[in-house]
Structure 1
Amino acid sequence: MRLGANTVLFGGHDMETAFRCLAMAGYDGVEVSAIKGMSEHLVLDRWREIAPEVKRLSGEYDLELLAMEQPSQDPETMEQAMQSAVEIGIPIVNCGPGGKTGDEASFQESIDSLGRLADMAERYGVTLCVKAHVGQAVHDTPTTLRVMEAITSPAFGIDMDPSHIYRAGENPVEAIAAVISRVKHVHIRDCKGRQQGPGSPEDQANGRGDIDLVGYIRTLHDGGYAGPLNLEVIGAKDYSVEQCCVIAAESRGHMQACLQACGAR
């Protein structure tokens, strides 16, 4: 597994600050944030201008480009994301499922939309991943399994985030085992309690919350997963560089210890 972090943690700072600090924390790579409103990193309307800088930073700080997060399913926006991914050399584009929990029509709309985007990903030679998300159409393991059955494209995979599964009232260790055959990306973070939001950025740092992340990573390893393990901490846009660095370094240390505990490193 490759240890990375989403640059959205440093959403209040420039992209070079994110790369520099994540390199100092010892990460193997990064997930570049293209999340409008949460960062000004990979701004898709200007991706041709920004792409050379992303490649420069990857080389200068020796950080592998593991993925991109772009939550919108808007076809035009997603095409920009995939075009930029090809140009920059980013293999995975992560998005959310959209829709509403418990609404069957909304669920079918999400399936249809994701299916079209998977076809687009196949044309561009990248992988589209989607994760269960609290409040959206795909929100737990049963709905994730339905997506896996409905979308068979080789360019489509599951992105698993234990905090969303935990807040859906499930055991993330059991959940990851049920879907691991199609998991191609993992967003990882901790959380305290099963409320709708993930909590403060500090409480999202791995090891500070209630999730059995040691068991989660062990299950990934036992299942043969060898993809990215990317920290995704949101809500830190107003945080200082020092605050962001503490969260990044603490979480990376916890991930490394988990990998060592299960014999993966």
Structure 2
Amino acid sequence: MYQLAPNIDLLFTEAGDAPDRVRAAAAAGFNAVEMWGPTGKDIPALKEALEETGVQLTAQLAEPRMQFMIPPKDHAPFYTGLDAGVEVAQQLGCSRIVVGSGTGFGGRKRQDQLDELIEIFTRGVAHIEGSGITLVLEPVNIRVDHPGALLDRTSEAVYVAKGVNSPNFGILYDLYHSTVEGEDVAAELANAGDLVKYVQVADAPGRGEPGSGSIDWPARFADLRNSGYTGPIGLEYYPTIDSAKSVRRIQELVAGR
């Protein structure tokens, strides 16, 4: 049985602000949530809601969003942002920070840019050494949601993670992005192995709740189980119905019903 973590920037928005969304998720039977970046959130109030409900924060995004490959390539804000992000993550008991590749630069070979990502994230892991935080790199689809992103292939995220070669660095496998890119889910998970440190889901097309699109969810959850992944699953989708109703279907799917 997977631990499911609704994204509080997308789900339970009818409950109010972030702390009240945590409480609504808890009331709906969840013991975990995820979120995007901490900017704009009342962190002390969010911490209080997490502690009050016993809900775990499984992941947050790194800020600011970086364009690593676009000249003049000033990476200093990334490392400064990591310091701030780690401080928030530690306050909230969150063990993962999600990082991205930014936009690719058309004037350079792709391989050179992937190798530069290895250098950037190797330094990033060293920068936060001892924090207890794992960085997870997310490849995203360029066909619908993130045109121009450098990292749109799971296999290349695996390449970067292998290059960083740290137990505190891995990949976020987003089944929605992978499906939109036309990847073979079972093959990608097998290739990634234990480098998968976090998983997110949404249906395709549309990025709504499971059941709103055409993904074969029983088959995909079987792929996930067969891969050996046992960590949490982030519910990062745009609900087409009431949040509480939208999560029931995925709770049933994960339970094998």
What TM-score does the superposition give when structure 1 sets the normalisation length? 0.77
Contact 1:121/1:127, CA 8 A, preserved across alignment: no
Deviations 1:188-232 (A, max 9, x none): 11121xxxxxx3xxx421121122332222222233322111111
Matched position secondary structure for 2:60: strand
1:117 is the counterpart of 2:124 = yes
Cα displacement string for residues 20-40 of structure 1 (whole angstroms, at most 9, x for unaligned residues):
22223222211133165xxx3
Contact 1:97 1:133 in 2 (8 A): no
Q: What one-letter code is carried by the residue in structure 2 that aligns with 1:123?
A: G
Counterpart-to-counterpart distance in 2, 1:24 and 1:118: 36
Query: More helix per residue: 1 or 2?
Result: 1
Q: Report what 1:7 is aligned to.
A: 8
Cα separation, 2, equivalents of 1:204 and 1:121: 35
Alpha-carbon deviation of 1:155? 0.5
Match of 2:201 in 1: 188
1:164-201: CA deviation from partner (whole Å, max 9, x where unpaired) = 11121212233223213211111111121xxxxxx3xx
Which consecutive unaligned segments of at least 5 residues does structure 1 have?
Answer: 42-49, 193-198, 237-242
Partner of 1:19: 22
* Aligned match for 1:142, one of 139, 150, 155: 155
- Give the letter for the 1:137 counterpart: L
Confirm or deny that 1:85 pairs with 2:89: yes
The one of 29, 43, 54 equivalent to 2:46 is 54
Helix, strand or coil: the match of 1:255? helix
Aligned amino acid, residue 36 of structure 2? S
Q: Which residue of 2 aligns with 1:130?
A: 137
Tell me, yes or no, if the aligned pair for 2:158 and 2:195 is still in contact at 8 Å: no
Residue in structure 2 matched with residue 252 of structure 1 by the alignment: 247
For residue 209 of structure 1, give the secondary structure of its aligned residue in structure 2: coil
Query: When the two structures are aligned, how many residues end up with a matched partner?
Result: 233
Question: What TM-score results when the alignment is normalised by the length of structure 2?
Answer: 0.79
8 A Cα contact 2:199 2:232, kept in partner: yes
Unaligned regions of 5+ residues in structure 2, if any? Answer: 67-77, 143-148
**Aligned 1:61-100 pairs, distance under 5 A:** 61-70=53-62, 72-73=65-66, 74-100=78-104
Report deviation, 1:251: 4.1
- 1:51-104 deviation per Cα after TM superposition (whole angstroms, max 9, x unaligned): 432221012233122221235352211221012112221111112222328733
Query: Aligned pair in 2 of structure 1 residues 29, 17: CA closer, same or farther (>3 Å)?
Result: same
Work out whether residues 121 and 155 of structure 1, in 8 Å CA contact, stay in contact via their aligned partners in 2. Answer: no
| Amino acid aligned to 1:103 | R
Whether the 8 Å CA contact 1:2–1:28 is kept in 2: the answer is yes
CA distance in 2, matches of 1:152, 1:89: 25
Q: What letter corresponds to residue 163 of structure 1 in structure 2?
A: Y
Name 1:32's counterpart in structure 2.
Answer: 35
